[in-house]
Amino acid sequence: FPLDQNRKSGLLIPEFSNSDRTGTTITVPWYWNIAPNYDWTIAPTWMSDRGIQWNNEFRYLTRSSQGTLDFEYLPDDDKFDDDRRYTRWRHLQPLSRNWELNADIAEASDRQYFEDLGSGTAVTSQTHLLRNLEFSYLGDNWQFVGRGRNYQTIDSGIATADKPYERLPQLLLNGIWDDAPAGLNFGVFSELVYFTRDIGVEGFRANLQPDVSLPVEGPGYFLVPKLAWRHTHYQLYDEGDARDDPSTSAPIVSVDSGLLFERDTGSGDFIQTLEPRLLYAYIPERGQDDQPIFDSGRPDFNRVQLFRPNRFVGGDRLGDTDQISLGVTSRLLNRVTGREFLTATLGGAYYFDDRNVGLPGEEVETDNKSDLVAEIGLDIFRNWNADLGYQWDVDGGGTSLAEFRVQYRPADNKVANLTYRYRPAILEQAEASLGWPVTDRWSFVGQIEYSLRDDTTIERLLGVQYESCCWAARVATQRSVSNRDGSRDTTVLLQLEFKGLAGIGSDARGTFEDDILGYSCLL
């Protein structure tokens, strides 16, 4: 405990925990204040079921860069019967006024590393580790990114043919010019990238998409006609009997428009808006079956996707369409502060023709209507707020997606949440969480996430907290799915915190606040 504002080398507060995967765990961190702009935390961790793990965090800050190097090493894991390690390097370095270097590179020794040694479902359920190095330029009109990117796949259930491609390199150059002569706006998107992988076709892909628009805006309305031309060209290798240089060119025509009406409510304290929006989009059909799938996919259909002309993301597919998208949003705003108490959106699309372009294995889309999208955000009642997302399959007559969350939060340490999520044939989950004081000094926390589809608990947390003016004590037990085979891990958390100084034990406070949305342990 340094007695002044200066940092000091020495032992930090030890941490204690117990779990099914590691046994009893004791961590004794040592902090080394190397220099005013360098430090190193070494945290040897003894795990009764696995051995001693050496955790290291080195941080640096110079006039031109900053970064962190994390390194974990577990020699001869008693359960795994081999050495294990994890490394992650994050670096940010401005090179000039407009140029920047950014690196984020991670690597694990084996696919079970996080399932065996991580904590919480967010960590143990990781499927890929990012390795990204990029230079970027941000100017008034031009933006450039040059990167090399790949992933380490740590989910053994992902087949080699389904692993993401490496991009070595990827070059992006985008430009935008607003308020050009005659009120026109110009833009251009360009990309050159080489995709490679151990299995499957690989090669170069070049994308070029210039566009021009003529925005017409005024009080209460906007109209944006836009014309773009997209050209995609490949140079492929290991393509078999297919063409090694397929290409596609097509126009993208859209007209986006909207109105804004507002009126005073009866009390005069609020303003209600009515915001209809209409988008017409046309993209002619172009055969693309001879083009590979490097990074394209179909995103979730939602309010944002409703008003995008291309129904695919990525550079390998340009979806043909002739459609009108309609939506209307209404808001309730405080006249003085502008606070939004209510927002509600309803929208859908109508198609004039079949959509023949698709991903491999997809059938032609012949329905003439999209799902009906509804979203509601409610913050009108004191201490209460709620969000609702719902999609209705108009042609099939069933629910495509449903999400609901309601929260009661009269104070930072008084929070109750209820959440429901549903996707047909994929998931149906309910979650409830509570953080609440039962006396002036004692509080209860609880959280449960339950799969209604599988009739099983995914994660559960129960804990209590005692708090005085100067210190707090917390104890909790947590049980969660930690392995892809469905096996579970039980963890006991114990923490003693001296307010304004430090805490002894595991980070129970962090667990409480991460698992219970909007909850704060301390008054």
Q: Taking the mean position of all CA atoms in its chain, how far away is CA 370? A: 25
Cα–Cα distance for residue pair 105/166, rounded to 1 Å: 14
Cα–Cα distance for residue pair 110/125, rounded to 1 Å: 14
The token duo for 470 is 């100067």
Residue of 277, 271, 333, 342 whose CA lies nearest to 303: 277
Residue of 361, 275, 365 whose CA lies nearest to 311: 365
Q: Which amino acid is present at 287?
A: G
What separation in angstroms does the CA of 196 have from each of 164, 201, 318?
9, 8, 22
What's this model's pTM, rounded to 2 decimal places? 0.86
Residue of 494, 512, 496, 479 whose CA lies nearest to 21: 479
Residue linked to tokens 């459609």: 323
Helix ranges (H only) for 462-502 are none
Coil, strand, or helix at residue 161? Answer: helix
509 pLDDT exceeds 90? no
Strand partners, 166: 196
Q: Which amino acid is present at 203?
A: G
Residue linked to tokens 């005692």: 466
Q: Give the range with max mean pLDDT: 7-21, 422-436, 499-513.
A: 422-436
- Rg of the chain on CA atoms, in Å: 27
410 pLDDT exceeds 80? yes
The token duo for 368 is 């003439």
According to DSSP, residue 373 is labeled E
pLDDT at position 234: 96
- Give the pLDDT confidence of 42-87 residue by residue, as tens digits: 999 999 999 999 999 999 999 999 999 999 999 999 999 999 999 9
Decide: 177 and 200 in contact? Cβ < 8 Å.
no
Mean of the per-residue pLDDT values for the chain? Answer: 90
Residue of 206, 216, 199 whose CA lies nearest to 169: 206
Cα–Cα distance for residue pair 501/510, rounded to 1 Å: 16
- Give the pLDDT confidence of 258-287 residue by residue, as tens digits: 999 999 887 778 899 999 999 999 999 999
- How many other β-carbons are positioned within 10 Å of the β-carbon of residue 21? 22
Backbone angles phi, psi at 138, to 5 degrees: -125, 110
Coil, strand, or helix at residue 282? Answer: strand
Residue of 465, 461, 422 whose CA lies nearest to 121: 461
Residue 240 backbone class (left: φ over 0; alpha: ψ -120 to 50; beta: rest): left
pLDDT band at 421 (very low <50, low <70, confident <90, very high): very high
Cα–Cα distance for residue pair 483/154, rounded to 1 Å: 12
Decide: 288 and 318 in contact? Cβ < 8 Å.
yes
pLDDT band at 523 (very low <50, low <70, confident <90, very high): low
pLDDT band at 505 (very low <50, low <70, confident <90, very high): very low
Residues 6+ apart with CB under 8 A from 248: 230, 231, 232, 286, 287, 288, 291, 318
C-alpha dihedral, 151 to 154 to 158 to 164, nearest 10°: 0
pLDDT at position 190: 97
479 pLDDT exceeds 90? no
Average pLDDT rounded to a whole number, residues 341-353 = 95
Average pLDDT rounded to a whole number, residues 440-456 = 92
Q: Which amino acid is present at 394?
A: V
Calculate what percentage of the chain has a pLDDT beyond 70.
96
- How many other β-carbons are positioned within 10 Å of the β-carbon of residue 427? 13
Residues 6+ apart with CB under 8 A from 423: 400, 401
Decide: 465 and 442 in contact? Cβ < 8 Å.
yes
Strand partners, 256: 224, 279
Average pLDDT rounded to a whole number, residues 84-103 = 95
Count of residues making up the chain = 523
Backbone angles phi, psi at 40, to 5 degrees: -145, 120
Q: Which amino acid is present at 126?
A: Q
pLDDT band at 218 (very low <50, low <70, confident <90, very high): very high
Decide: 413 and 523 in contact? Cβ < 8 Å.
yes
Average pLDDT rounded to a whole number, residues 137-153 = 95
Residue of 484, 487, 434 whose CA lies nearest to 464: 434
Cα–Cα distance for residue pair 71/91, rounded to 1 Å: 15
Residue of 503, 500, 476 whose CA lies nearest to 490: 476
